Amino acid sequence: MQSFRTELENLDNPVVEKDIIDLAARIEKFNNGDIDPDKFRSLRLARGVYGQRQPGNQMVRIKIPYGKMSVKQLRRIADISTEYGGGNLHATTRQDIQIHYVSLDRTPELWAKLEQDDITLREACGNTVRNVTASPVAGIDPNEPFDVSPYAHAVFEYFLRNPVCQEMGRKFKISFSSSDKDTGISFIHDIGFIPKVKTEGGKEIRGFKVMIGGGLGAQPAPAVKAYDFLEEDQIIPFTEALLRVFDRYGERKRRVKARFKFLLADIGLEEVMRLVKEEWNALSTKSYKIDTSAVAGPVLPTTIGFSDKALINPEQFELWKETNVHPQKQEGYYYVEVKVPNGDISSQKAHKFADIISKYAADDVRVTVNQGYVLRYVKEDSLKSLFTELDDLNLANPGFDSTADIIACAGTDTCNLGISNSTRVALELEGVIEREYPELIKNNDIKIKISGCPNSCGHHAIASIGFHGSSLRNKATKKVLPAVQVLLGGGLDKDGDGFIAEKVIKVPSKKAPDVLRVLFNDYDENAEEGEYYATYFKRQGKDYFYQLLKFLADTENVTDSDYIDWGKDEQFKVETEVGECAGVIIDLFSTLMFEAEEKAQWAKQAHELGNYADSIYHAYSVFINGAKALLVDKGVTVNTQAGIMKSFDEEFEGDFESVVGSSFTDFVLRIKQNEPSKEWAEKFIEDADQFLGKVKEVQEQETETV
């Protein structure tokens, strides 16, 4: 594993180097049995290393902020997948790229090589701010008021390694749409930004409509509006304040309730915004000017490329051009959408794809939320040649983001949480559409999305027609069948309003193609002219569709093949393990004290570097972890940081009076009452050190008493 140090010599970022060295050291400790497995899991997840369904293998999630990659970065990722993984690049619904079948011991070296081309794994998984997503047509969208790419980039950079969001109760997701059409699907995000422009005194002012509290998972919820217009310099301070609120008051014990959407539902929008205002004083910056030049402009090919291959299928080219090619706001240029089944492209194909991009498009490829790619700044004269070369790679399939372009998560192929196969179902359903309903290749209203479990990594909860993996028991035989839960009526309408799909019925997985046939035929026969599918679903009602599909749920007439999942040969059985994507919760005294002491060191290091806001937040974490350690040691259940403070006052009243006074809660929450300064940071760190010393003293006394 030490070979990774050679790769570090090519880096010039000491923070990144330290991060990679730290991961390698923790892997060595884990292998030697010197570190708690749950603590180690939490650490590696925050560095993009996720346990696979196959024992001994890791999935490495590569963070691609707002989906933007250079050709050089694409090549680097392809090389990494060949050398360290299974030779495949899997695009996700968060505009990440995942590599599977990686050895844990090789992840530091892999990470070091990625960082040589400014690619990170940091906070791609775990209880962190996940990849910041954005509309893949940001900067070229004819409907956009301005390019949101620099804003997404600024948010990504500001919160990467930020102490406020390293160990939250759960993950936190942020998106940027390019226009009111909500192309970044803000309504399913913890924070969604939609660009707006207003004019005051003849001056144009940029800002954002802000949506908060959206989320999918097993209990999806749409976001609510926090601001009609928040000026551009306020989006980062607002995000930091909201993250502080989530970190302090969000659930930490019951994992299923630990997302921000549940906190919002619990205390309401008005109280959330009041708490945000309370946090404002402690922010390191009250106004953060976005550098709109931080994202480089397009680098175009020096010469217009042409293919020497003849256009064999003119009709297919015209269909592709109709469905996958669109004019940019920049006159004379087009963007081209590349449909990728299941988001999977081999390393070898990725290199050839990179050759094509270099020849015909800007050095700026965007991964999309529907697991494809967008090429930008293509000249009209190049379209036939581009199509011909993409077609050679089977990457010129028409119908990008249409009914025939089905999203599917990895499911039981690699994920611990997968219940039934999602990728193979997607391919089967695409086949039904291509063979029996080819006209739907031009339909951009009905979206089909599939997940292997209820957690909605495949976005089934916002699908017009959604499926998630499940199981059914045949009451007569007592045998279990692979099944899919059918959901209907989700998605976006023409005005950008979002809808959550409703669960309708559960059917055997092998009946999924028949579900499509019934639904398509019904819609064709009964929908009104121009009626959107979500509108049609609402008009007919959930029970109408339940009755329509009920016969397919009947398990009395199933055949032997129905007991075998798609792509498998053996009898189906449910095989799931505890998922890792949201991290874990550690409740061991020694582990919590280790974390508290570690945070105390980080607080001092940040103070020495002049990062006073960071040092203060690290010191705050010392108080929280130290208090939680004593409470856990005493058998007290604690759910939130606010709850920790309250319970600590109740359980240890008087024991800590010499250090914190009469109220531990008031003592700690001074963090909200003081602006970050050198003197205040120094004082808060000193107080945290004294508190930690007292925690050790009290715990020793408790142990002696026992």
CATH code of the domain covering residue 324: 3.30.70.3340
Of the residues 261, 282, 303, which one is the last residue of a structural domain? 282
On the question of pLDDT at 384 being above 80, the answer is yes
Cβ distance 669 to 642 under 8 Å?
A: no
Q: How far apart are CA 175 and CA 212, in angstroms?
A: 10
Residue 573 lies in a domain: no
pLDDT for residue 55: 80
Gap between the Cα atoms of 454 and 217, Å rounded = 6
Residue 483 CA to residue 412 CA, distance in Å, equals 13
Shared domain for 263 and 361, answered yes or no, is: no
Q: What is the mean pLDDT of residues 561-565?
A: 78
Q: Are 492 and 449 in contact (CB under 8 A)?
A: no
Same domain, 629 and 559: no
How many CA within 13 A on the CB side of residue 234?
14
Q: Which two tokens stand for residue 49?
A: 């290393």
559, 411: one domain: yes
| Confidence label for 8 from pLDDT (cuts 50, 70 and 90) | confident
pLDDT at 700: 79
AA letter at 633: D
Residue 301 domain-assigned (yes or no)? no
Tell me, what amino acid is at 283?
L
Q: Within 484-588, where are the H helices?
A: 512-526, 533-540, 542-549
For residue 236, give both structure tokens.
């980062």
- Amino acid sitting at position 670: R
3-state secondary structure of 224: strand
Q: Of 97-101, 462-466, 588-592, give the lowest mean pLDDT range.
A: 588-592
Mean pLDDT of 461-482: 87
Same domain, 27 and 95: yes
- Looking at the chain, the whole-number percentage of residues with pLDDT higher than 90 is 68
Question: So what's the pLDDT on residue 54?
Answer: 82
Same domain, 201 and 242: yes
Residue 309 lies in a domain: no
| Same-domain check for residues 368 and 467 | no
Say if 651 falls within a structural domain.
yes
Q: Is pLDDT at 497 greater than 80 in this prediction?
A: yes
As a whole number of angstroms, the distance between CA 518 and CA 504 comes to: 14
Do residues 360 and 382 touch, judged by C-beta distance below 8 A?
Answer: yes
Q: Which pLDDT tens digit goes with each residue over 327-353?
A: 999 999 999 999 998 899 999 999 999
Which domain does 672 fall in, by range?
589-705
> By percentage, how much of the chain surpasses pLDDT 70?
95
Number of residues assigned to the chain: 706
Q: Give CA–CA dist 156/183, Å, rounded.
A: 19
683 shares a domain with 541? no
Pair (362, 414) in one structural domain: no
Rounded to the nearest integer, the mean pLDDT of the chain is 90
Q: 425 near 565, Cβ under 8 Å?
A: no
Q: What is the pLDDT of residue 706?
A: 43
pLDDT of 564-616, one tens digit each?
777 777 776 765 555 555 444 444 677 788 889 989 999 999 999 999 999 99
Give all strands of the β-sheet with 49-51 in edge-to-edge order.
49-51, 58-62, 97-102, 88-91, 344-346
CA dist., res. 611 & res. 606, Å (int): 5
Residue where a domain stops, chosen among 259, 282, 305: 282
Query: Is position 252 within any domain?
Result: yes
28-76 residue pLDDT tens: 988 888 887 777 887 888 888 988 878 878 999 999 999 999 999 999 9
Does any domain span residue 571? no
Q: Over 70: is that where the pLDDT of 533 sits?
A: yes
Q: Does the pLDDT value for residue 178 go beyond 70?
A: yes
Q: Please state, in angstroms and rounded to a whole number, the distance separating the CA atoms of residues 473 and 97.
A: 36
Give the Å distances, CA to CA, from 190 to 148, 216, 246: 18, 10, 10
The CATH number assigned to the domain holding 214 equals 3.30.413.10
The separation between the first and the last C-alpha atoms of the chain, rounded to the nearest angstrom, is 44
Same domain, 386 and 441: no
The per-residue pLDDT for range 390-401, each reduced to its tens digit, is 999 999 999 999
Segment among 446-450, 504-508, 541-545, 694-698 with least mean pLDDT: 694-698
Phi and psi at residue 449, to the nearest 5°: -140, 140
d(C-alpha 382, C-alpha 307), whole Å: 9
| Residue 296 counted as domain residue | no
CATH of the domain at 53: 3.90.480.20
SS3 label, residue 536: helix
Comparing C-alpha atoms, which of 184, 132, 218 is closest to residue 500? Answer: 218
Total of domains in the chain: 5
Lowest mean pLDDT among 22-26, 83-87, 391-395, 455-459: 455-459
SS3 373: strand
User: Residue 565 has what pLDDT?
Assistant: 78
CA separation for the pair 413, 468 (Å, rounded): 14
- Spell out the residues 6+ positions from residue 411 whose beta carbon is closer than 8 angstroms to its own: 418, 420, 421, 422, 423, 450, 451, 452, 453, 458, 469
Q: How high is the pLDDT of residue 506? A: 93
The residues that bridge with 481 in the sheet, in sequence order, are 472
Structure confidence at residue 703 (pLDDT): 58
* Inter-CA distances, 363 with 71, 121, 299, 514, Å: 6, 22, 5, 43
In a domain, 67, yes or no: yes
Nearest to 216 by CA among 248, 252, 186: 186
Q: Please check whether residues 335 and 418 belong to one and the same domain.
A: no
- How far is Cα 266 from Cα 484, in angstroms, rounded to an integer? 31
pLDDT, position 577: 53
357, 392, 427 - which closes a domain: 392
| Helix-helix angle 314-324:383-392, to 10 degrees | 100
What's the pLDDT at 581?
53
Q: Which position has the token pair 């999935």?
A: 59
- 426/353 same-domain check: no
* DSSP codes of every residue in 47-108: TTEEE-SSTT-EEEEEB-GGGEE-HHHHHHHHHHHHHHSSSEEEE-TTS-EEEEEE-GGGHH
Q: What is the dihedral of CA 28, 32, 37, 41, to 10 degrees?
A: 10
Q: Compute how many other C-beta atoms are within 10 angstroms of the C-beta atom of residue 443.
A: 18
Examine the domain organization and report whether 456 and 528 are in the same domain. Answer: yes
Residue 702 pLDDT:
64
d(CA 503, CA 481): 19
Q: What is the pLDDT of residue 479?
A: 83
Q: What is the pLDDT of residue 586?
A: 42
Q: How far apart are CA 408 and CA 421, in angstroms?
A: 10
Do residues 100 and 416 touch, judged by C-beta distance below 8 A?
no
